[in-house]
Amino acid sequence: MRDFGPQRESMVRRQIAARGIHDAALLDAMRHVPRERFVDASLQDYAYEDGPLPIAAGQTISQPYIVARMIEIARIAHGARVLEIGAGSGYAAAVMAQIAARVYTIERHGQLSDLARGRFDDLHYANIEVRTGDGTCGWAEAAPFDAIIAAAGGPDVPDALKQQLAIGGRLVMPVGRSLHHQRLVRVTRVDAVRFETREFDDVAFVPLIGTYGWAEEGARPMPSPSPDPFGP
Ligand code: SAH
């Protein structure tokens, strides 16, 4: 089998560390996960490029830097229990599973969750659980979580997800009124009733579709451009 090790090492240095991400556990995790195994065989040559790539069901595997940046903002550490909304290829879940104790990931497309589950089995990840369904409602039986990452963008942060955070837990999600442009937001649960919100980078994720996200494509007219939710 082809050795992608040098490309992976170069990705970590040039795309991640050079952009200011220095968390040793995170860099180490990215050095270990074979990203080429999370894309179609025809795209393996592009697996370490500095951008997202198409996967099945019209979705994308996120750019490596964005995966690292969300994990950094969510401050995922050893021993953490993590929930991911939007398993997609399974790549981000695998990176998180290198660091966290347990990763629960939900994907609305059964085709993608099946593929991701197969990859986790092949690569012997025993600490990832995959479920097909609407992640905007969370995974109540496995809550509370130290970190929740949404890998798709919604109009606002679902309350159901905030309620599944442990005290001190962080939720990171792309939020915006436009379907394809958002800002990364971190919500930290301060105590039972108080949450602190902070905004980070501008990003472009696929839409979060579900009960507490956008409506199913085609189910109702897509939203028209409206004022920036973080504006004055
Ligand atoms: N973390 C993924 C990125 C996937 S892109 C990776 O590393 O490859 C975002 C994914 O979110 C898509 O696969 C999309 O189908 C999924 N998604 C969108 N809305 C969702 C919802 N309500 N629940 C679960 N998954 C959802």
The reply to whether 187 falls in a domain is yes
What integer pLDDT is reported at residue 225 of this predicted model?
A: 46
Ligand 1 centroid to 20 CA: how many Å?
A: 26
Burial 187-197 (b: 16+ CB within 10 A, else e): bbbeeeeeeee
Active-site annotation holds for 89: no
Tell me, using a 6 A CB cutoff, whether residue 113 lines ligand 1.
no
Tokens of 73: 């903002």
pLDDT tens, residue order, the chain (232 aa): 789 999 999 999 999 999 999 999 999 999 999 999 999 999 999 999 999 999 999 999 999 999 999 999 999 999 999 999 999 999 999 999 999 999 999 999 999 999 999 999 999 999 999 999 999 999 999 999 999 999 999 999 999 999 999 999 999 999 999 988 999 999 999 999 999 999 999 999 999 999 999 998 655 545 544 555 554 4
The reply to whether 223 falls in a domain is no
What integer pLDDT is reported at residue 232 of this predicted model?
A: 45
Tell me, using a 6 A CB cutoff, whether residue 214 lines ligand 1.
no
What integer pLDDT is reported at residue 2 of this predicted model?
A: 87
The reply to whether 118 falls in a domain is yes
The reply to whether 232 falls in a domain is no
Tell me, using a 6 A CB cutoff, whether residue 151 lines ligand 1.
yes
The reply to whether 35 falls in a domain is yes
Ligand 1 centroid to 207 CA: how many Å?
A: 8
Question: Is residue 172 within a helix (H) or strand (E), and if so which, with residue range?
Answer: strand 165-175
CA triplet 139, 214, 199: central angle to 5 degrees? 75
Overall domain count for the chain: 1
What is the CATH classification number for the domain harbouring 112?
A: 3.40.50.150
Catalytic site residue from 62, 113, 178, 226: 62
pTM above 0.85, yes or no: yes
Instruction: Pick the residue whose CA is nearest to atom 10 on ligand 1.
Output: 86
The reply to whether 213 falls in a domain is no
Atom number in ligand 1 closest to CA 149 = 1
DSSP string for 91-145: HHHHHHHHHSSEEEEEES-HHHHHHHHHHHHHTT--SEEEEES-GGG--GGG--E
Do residues 203 and 186 lie in contact, with contact meaning Cβ atoms separated by under 8 Å?
Answer: no
Separation CA 125–CA 22 (nearest Å) = 25
The reply to whether 224 falls in a domain is no
The reply to whether 107 falls in a domain is yes
Preceding amide of 144 cis, omega within 30: yes
Tell me, using a 6 A CB cutoff, whether residue 83 lines ligand 1.
no
Residues in Cβ contact with 42 at an 8 Å cutoff, skipping those fewer than 6 apart: none
What integer pLDDT is reported at residue 203 of this predicted model?
A: 96
What integer pLDDT is reported at residue 221 of this predicted model?
A: 46
Which residue segment(s) compose the domain that 61 sits in? 5-203
What integer pLDDT is reported at residue 223 of this predicted model?
A: 54
What integer pLDDT is reported at residue 216 of this predicted model?
A: 80
